[in-house]
Chains A and B, each alone.
Chain A
Amino acid sequence: MVSVDSIIGRNSLHRKVQRSLRIQKLRALGLIAPLFIFILISFVIPIGDMLFRSIENQLVSEVLPRTTEYLKSEQINEDWEPPNELFWHLYVDLAIATEVKLHTRVGSRLNYEKTGISSLFRKSGRSIKKFGADDYRKALTEQVPELASIDYWELLAEGTKYGYTRDAYNEWKKRLIENDDFSEKTKPSDFLFVVLANDIKSPGATPTQGTIPEEKLLPVISELPEIRFKELFLDTDEDWAEPDVWDTIQLYSPSFTNGYYLNSADFKKGSDGPELRPENERLYALIFSRTLFMSVTITLVCLLLGYPVAYFLANLPMKYANLFLILVLLPFWTSLLVRTSAWKVLLQNEGVINDVLVAIGLIANLERLELINNQTGTIIAMSHILLPFMILPLFSVMKTIHPSYVRAAKSLGATPWTAFRRVYFPQSIPGIGAGSILVFILSIGYYITPELVGGTTGTFISNRIAYHISSSLNWGLGAALGSILLAVVLALYWVYDRVVGIDNVKLG
């Protein structure tokens, strides 16, 4: 007997269905792809960039390559003394950096970790110009005039003989090009002559015939006064003798660091592992706990105010409910800045609320309440702004609770309170969850309102992040604080998605 399957070709049918499903899938993905790529470029990658900045630390080793390389093998403790050679490397690094003002950037980078380094670098950057390098330039160009032109140095840099000179010259040139300062007319910098002289007289480089007439230069170089870098640096600033300064440079030499995260948790890098900062420098634990405290308070206030309103709306006939709903939606739709400015106007010392309280005699004119530029201001204004985000999810859940349950409870002898507590309230919990998570997520990352009405005590972690990005320019720390905030928000977002489902968000 021939099976039915073989006649209608079941396998081929199966394949056809599979194929059409696959086409459907591809078409759906094709529709989504443009937006997905758009969001990736304009949003997801930028966030990734921020995460990267929180661990990235290339500046120190890029600007001070010789110094950090030398420090790698040093064991720095309290009795350690910086050797002469270290100051020689520091001189070359700083000489290149000062040409393009990079030393101030490294200075401020290291200043985040140890105060005082910024001014140390700036001072030294100024004084190394007076270390006597110009004498070297004069003496050497007198003997070999070609040394004054950049072309000659280009030739030198191609050779492999004077490695130190070559690397220093190339790095110097690269920095100038980055800064758009390099052309054929550029004069070789003074410090390069010191580097070259050092290479020529160093025992490893025996005089041979090459691009450089060494035999002409050697006598001149040996007559030149030796530059005592260590003394000169210590004359500039005694801090260079401090092992602490070198320890900080050594700790922040690697290209990646967990230092920003340690900072965010009020720790700092020590030579033997992380250590807690002294009491008076601890800041972030306070700000994080304040952010948490205010967000929880705002969520609770919203729940307290939102629950009765949602209950009221859900138990009204539809046509009245829609009318009252407008009273919730209008604030929701009004510009955030408008609402914040309204609160700023209302809560001022000379504002409407204080004026009314004085007029009805509740408080004396001289005892006006401090309602703004503190936590009270932030909590009042933000509860108002976020209240609709609590009412709307609560309302949509309560609408589905059928009134017959409560009626049944009452008919079985429950008091109204028991009926509410045992029957109605448990059914409204999904709405409480949805609204509370939403309000909490939104409040924990708020920036505008706390910035405008929070003063110094009513600000959130976001205000600190903004401060680091736009004022203190400690981008790494800002990024690390941001990443911690992001982790908290994403965890809550995940919970929200599990509990409510992200596509169930209602927008009015």
Chain B
Amino acid sequence: MANFQPYDTSSDKAWYYIFRVICGLIFFFLMFPILVIMPLSFNAGNYFTFTPEMLRLEIEGFSLKHYRDFFTNPDWQVAMYNSFRIAPVATLLSVGFGTLAAIGLSQSHVPFRRTIMAILISPMIVPLILSAAGMYFFYSRIGLQGTYIGVVLAHAALGIPFVIITVTATLTGFDKSLTRASASLGAGPIRTFFKIQMPLILPGVISGGLFAFITSFDEVVVVLFVGSASLKTLPWEMFNGLREQISPTILAIATILITLSVLLLSTIEILRRRSERLRGITPS
């Protein structure tokens, strides 16, 4: 508990607790929506609020029927299949191009570094609706609109800023003398890259990749415009479901996706710590 100093006045002490209550309420605001839909997804009725049976914790109030619907309904299954068909490929593209460029950008003499960086990060800043509109216009001209390749290219572009940011962040702490040491011991540049540089920046690359994956997996605006009916992804179906007739199946999917993000968040946290340890930066 709080260790107050003898000179703290009672109003200091009161403020200390009031402040903590305020922060608690804000944390509650942050977590409440996410926490509340998890139990709701086990609702036995088709309601979006707690039924009296649920509040009394009776077993009849709960069921897995919304989960069953998700795993048996062909619409949802196609959507999930499409999502898993698009996101990994888009991620690979972003990570491949992004990592190379990040290594290039972290060299000491890069002309127009700031401008290049600003352009490469811009897909993150430009409102999604504008990216979607532009891609819709341009991809229709070159025949990519409504195709798998079109959606993958678009998602890769959206994921790139995240890879650039995370990988350049890992590279700023990179000790250049390590590559020099490797070179002086006779290793060529390629060997140095794979044996020295790559293992050290790998955590950054992976967490950038996870960001890119989530970006594509969760993206709806661009896919609505660039995609077609046969390329409906999970977010597309959710968006339609929410816009037209909201069905409780969405709550089940939401719960599954929350579990997924908890897993991803833990992975990134572990990677971040590992990277800091490896680079000799102790968390301070």
Binding site for B on A (CB under 8 A): 21, 24-25, 27-32, 34-36, 38-39, 41-50, 53, 305, 308-309, 312, 318, 322, 324, 326-331, 333-346, 348, 350-352, 355, 384, 387-388, 416, 441, 444-448, 451-452, 462, 465-466, 469-470, 475, 478-479, 482, 485-486, 489-490, 493, 497, 502-503, 505, 507-508
Q: Is the CB of A344 within 8 A of B242?
A: yes
Q: Is the CB of A465 within 8 A of B134?
A: no
Shortest beta-carbon distance from B30 to chain A in Å? 5
Q: Is the CB of A384 within 8 A of B127?
A: no
Q: Does B186 contact A (CB under 8 A)?
A: no
- Residues of B within 8 Å of A305, CB to CB, are 26, 29
Contact residues, B251-284 vs A (CB, 8 A): 251, 253-254, 257-258, 261-262, 264-265, 268-269, 283-284
Shortest beta-carbon distance from A304 to chain B in Å? 9
11 pairs of residues in contact across A and B, judged by CB atoms under 8 Å: A35-B101, A39-B119, A43-B122, A47-B130, A312-B23, A333-B265, A343-B33, A351-B49, A446-B127, A462-B129, A503-B169
Residue ID in chain B nearest A44 by CB atoms:
B119
- In the bound complex, how far is the Cα of B132 from the Cα of A445, in angstroms? 12
If over half of B's interface residues share one DSSP class (helix, strand or loop), that class is named, otherwise mixed; here it is helix
Number of residues of chain B lying within 8 A (CB) of chain A: 96
- Residues of A within 8 Å of B48, CB to CB, are 345, 348, 350-352
- Residues of B within 8 Å of A342, CB to CB, are 33-34, 36-37, 254
Shortest beta-carbon distance from A56 to chain B in Å? 10
Shortest beta-carbon distance from B282 to chain A in Å? 10
Q: Is the CB of A452 within 8 A of B49?
A: no
Q: Does B81 contact A (CB under 8 A)?
A: no
Q: Is the CB of A328 within 8 A of B104?
A: no
Q: Is the CB of A36 within 8 A of B101?
A: yes
In the complex with contacts A25-B109, A446-B127, A46-B214 CB distance below 8 A:
no
Q: Is the CB of B165 within 8 A of A503?
A: yes
- Residues of B within 8 Å of A312, CB to CB, are 19-20, 23
If over half of A's interface residues share one DSSP class (helix, strand or loop), that class is named, otherwise mixed; here it is helix
In the complex with contacts A345-B48, A503-B168, A339-B133 CB distance below 8 A:
no
Q: Which 10 A-B pairs have the closest CB atoms?
A: A445-B127, A31-B104, A46-B134, A342-B33, A46-B138, A35-B101, A35-B97, A28-B107, A50-B134, A32-B104
- In the bound complex, how far is the Cα of B26 from the Cα of A308, in angstroms? 9
Q: Is the CB of B31 within 8 A of A337?
A: no
Binding site for A on B (CB under 8 A): 12, 15, 19-20, 22-23, 26-27, 29-31, 33-34, 36-37, 40, 47-50, 93, 97-98, 100-101, 103-105, 107-111, 114, 116-123, 125-139, 141, 153-154, 156-157, 160, 162, 165-166, 168-169, 211, 214, 217-218, 220-221, 224-225, 235, 238-239, 242-243, 246, 250-251, 253-254, 257-258, 261-262, 264-265, 268-269, 283-284
- Residues of B within 8 Å of A337, CB to CB, are 218, 220, 235, 238-239, 242, 254
- In the bound complex, how far is the Cα of B224 from the Cα of A462, in angstroms? 14
Cross-chain contact of A24 among B23, B105, B108, B264 (Cβ < 8 A) = B108
- In the bound complex, how far is the Cα of B108 from the Cα of A24, in angstroms? 8
Q: Is the CB of A29 within 8 A of B104?
A: yes
Shortest beta-carbon distance from A346 to chain B in Å? 6
- In the bound complex, how far is the Cα of B107 from the Cα of A478, in angstroms? 41
- In the bound complex, how far is the Cα of B194 from the Cα of A26, in angstroms? 21
Cross-chain contact of B251 among A25, A29, A341 (Cβ < 8 A) = A341
- In the bound complex, how far is the Cα of B248 from the Cα of A348, in angstroms? 14
